[in-house]
Amino acid sequence: MGSSRPGRRTEWADRFAPDLEVFEALASETLANLPHEILAQCGHMQVSLADYAEDAVLNALGIEDPHDLLGLFEGAGLTEGAAELVTGQMPNRIWLFRRPILDYWASNPETLGEIVSHVLVHEIGHHFGLSDADMDRIEAAAEI
């Protein structure tokens, strides 16, 4: 089981799976590159990271395999009047789930950065009130 390129094994031999800090850096980089108009409308949204979604979340969504949920938007989107944070109201939150994203990465020809960006932007789309079908049409039209 050899490699046709010298040094390929040593390139990965001492590396570990990217941890939550790496995911935080990738998400921060994505947010920093979003147009200001988009970011300004995200308001007090938080981005949180975890290895997996909690069982209660998976159960509420009817998801049996925790690897099937890469990200999640929690809160009230702009179409639901979430322009301002009301006292006592939790801010909108986007969750990125590391292990399902890593599993997806291992099975697809995209970079980890591309996948984290895609999931984050997808969840921000929910903040704007877009459905999964809406976002699929936008991506297809943009050939992202």
The domain ranges of the chain are: 19-142
Contact 77, 126 (CB under 8 A): yes
Residue 19 falls in which region: left (phi positive, over 0), alpha (psi -120 to 50) or beta: beta
What does the angle CA 33 – CA 121 – CA 87 come to, to the nearest 5 degrees?
95
Taking only the tens place, the pLDDT of each residue in 2-30 is: 555 665 667 778 889 999 999 999 999 98
Section 134-143 average pLDDT: 67
Higher-confidence position of 61 and 43: 61
Higher-confidence position of 94 and 41: 94
User: What percent of the chain stands above pLDDT 90?
Assistant: 49
Domain 19-142 has CATH 3.40.1410.10: no
Contact 47, 120 (CB under 8 A): yes
